[in-house]
Amino acid sequence: MATKKEKLSRLQDLYVHELKDIYSAEKQITKALPKMIKGASSPELKKSFENHLQETERQINRLEEIFQRLDETSRGPKCQGMEGLLKEGGDFLKEDATPEVLDAGIIVGAQKVEHYEIAAYGSLCTFAETLGFDEDLELLKQSIEEEKMADEKLTELAEAGVNEESVS
Ligand code: FE
Ligand code: FE
Ligand code: ZN
């Protein structure tokens, strides 16, 4: 592609590259979650998105702390993976669906987002560990735990009725 590229020669370069990617992803998520809160019908689903929006703000703060420590800017290319996932989820919100089916579909989209984040933070944890960045690792572990909990909560909501309500 035509975008100017810096040479990545050390694991730390890849670490920074991936930090910028998840930073962009988290930023995009803070803009998408309010739409998902609005689109969801189940009060519990709304609540879990509201909670995850607050967590996402904290995850962004953690990443900013890491960039500061590395003396790196958070600016980088837009995460295209998240852009695609959120576009797909946003399009689904516009479907003519019953509230129950819409909720079940919103959960599918949200879980795809969580899995992207879990993959990203998982790799970042491994890199931080390898590089001996212990303080970073602590912060990244907190974020990956929140993503895993968010994913589990969505599974719970799907199993505990949101899906069942859409069967009949
Ligand atoms: Fe996140
Ligand atoms: Fe990405
Ligand atoms: Zn998340």
What pLDDT was estimated at residue 161? 72
pLDDT at 3: 61
Please check whether residue 40 is in contact with residue 49, taking contact to mean a CB–CB distance below 8 angstroms: yes
Q: Is residue 31 part of a domain?
A: yes
Domain-located, residue 6:
no
User: How far does residue 53's CA lie from ligand 3's centre (Å)?
Assistant: 8
Residue 18: nearest ligand to its CA?
Answer: 2
What is the C-alpha separation between 113 and 86, in angstroms, rounded? 8
* CA 160 to ligand 3 centroid distance, Å: 21
Within-domain flag for 4: no
Question: Is a pLDDT exceeding 60 seen at residue 15?
Answer: yes
Count structural domains, the chain. 1
pLDDT at 2: 54
Q: Does the structure show a pLDDT above 60 at 1?
A: no
User: Per-residue pLDDT for 159 more than 70?
Assistant: yes
Question: Rounded mean pLDDT of 144-162?
Answer: 93
Length of the chain measured in residues: 168
43-70 and 134-157 are packed helices; what angle lies between their axes, rounded to 10 degrees? 170
Q: Which ligand is nearest to the CA of 85?
A: 2
Question: Is 63 inside any structural domain?
Answer: yes
Is residue 49 within 8 A of residue 36, CB to CB? The reply is: yes
Q: Is residue 3 part of a domain?
A: no
Residue 124 falls inside a structural domain: yes
Q: What is the mean pLDDT of residues 60-71?
A: 98
Q: How confident is the model at residue 166, as a pLDDT?
A: 59
Question: Which of 49-53, 96-100, 106-110, 162-166 has the lowest average pLDDT?
Answer: 162-166
Averaged pLDDT of the chain: 94
Residue 77 lies in a domain: yes
* CA pair distance 140, 133, nearest whole angstrom: 11
User: What is the whole-number distance in angstroms between the Cα of residue 39 and the centre of ligand 1?
Assistant: 20
Q: What is the CATH number of the domain that holds 140?
A: 1.20.1260.10
The DSSP line for the chain is: --S------SHHHHHHHHHHHHHHHHHHHHHHHHHHHHH---HHHHHHHHHHHHHHHHHHHHHHHHHHHHT--S-----HHHHHHHHHHHHHHTS---HHHHHHHHHHHHHHHHHHHHHHHHHHHHHHHHHT-HHHHHHHHHHHHHHHHHHHHHHHHIIIIITGGGT-
pTM of the model: 0.92
Residue 1 forms part of a structural domain: no
Percentage above 70 pLDDT, the chain: 93
Output the CA 2–ligand 3 centroid distance in Å. 31
For the segment 1-20, the average pLDDT, to the nearest whole number, is 86
Domain that holds residue 58: 11-163
Mean pLDDT of 146-151: 98
CA 38–ligand 2 middle distance (angstroms):
25
Asked whether the predicted pLDDT for residue 154 surpasses 70, the reply is yes
Average pLDDT of the residues in 115-143: 98
